[in-house]
Structures are given as C-alpha cells and as structure tokens.
Amino acid sequence: MDKIFLNQMEFYGYHGVFPEETKLGQRFIVDVVLEVDLKEAGKTDDLTKTINYAEVYDIVKSFVEGPPFKLIEALSEKIVENILNQFPQVHNCTLKLVKPNPPIAGHYHSVAVEIKRGQNG
C-alpha cells in the first residue's frame, strides 16, 4: 500500500490531567501516515485522486489547538477517527502524538502515543 507522510507538525494545546497543562498549555508534535492507493494520482497528476495534505493538517490542528482532552490517547483517537471519516479512500491511518515536555519529574526526551486505525476499526 502507498503511504502519505505528514511529519512533525507542531501545535500548541492545553491537553493533560494536571492543572498546569490545561492552564499554561504546551507544544505537541504530530506525525500522520496515511495508507492509500496513489496510483491514479500518480498517473493523472490530479489532486482529486489523492489526499489533500492541507485538509489533513487542518483536522489535526483543529483538535490539538481545540478544546482540551485529559489523555493524549483520547485526542489521538479523535483525530484519526475524523481523518478516516473525511477521507474514506484512506485504508489505514497511523498517528504519533508527542508531548515533548510533560510535567513529570525525571529526565527523558518526551512521551508519546502511537495508534493505527483502519476503515473497519
């Protein structure tokens, strides 16, 4: 299956379980991989035969910069659900959501979740 990658999209949001996260906010980094047949788009050079990257970006942005979720798992699920609903030609969508600086004591680079969902669940 062919793939479209939207890598390291950065947004500022207010998601988390700690009060400082929902008050001060923080950066989020999102990667999306869309599994889709790109043969016709490649043959015809026609945008309607592929996925409009700007529309995917706008979906991700609307959720990450929108109303807060407690869990990045729930935020990720909602983003992927909307991508699959808006683009039925996408067979599978993988989303990685990174929280570079969560308020957790200790030394680490980041925390993240990655989910993969398809048109049939």
3: left (phi over 0), alpha (psi -120 to 50) or beta: beta
Q: Which of 3, 61, 78, 99 is catalytic?
A: 99
Could you confirm whether 99 is annotated as catalytic? yes
> In sequence order, what are the residues at sequence separation of 6 or more whose Cβ sits closer than 8 angstroms to the Cβ of residue 8?
29, 30, 31
Look up tokens 């969902």; give the residue.
117
Nearest of 59, 65, 64 to residue 34 by alpha carbon? 59
Active site members: 99
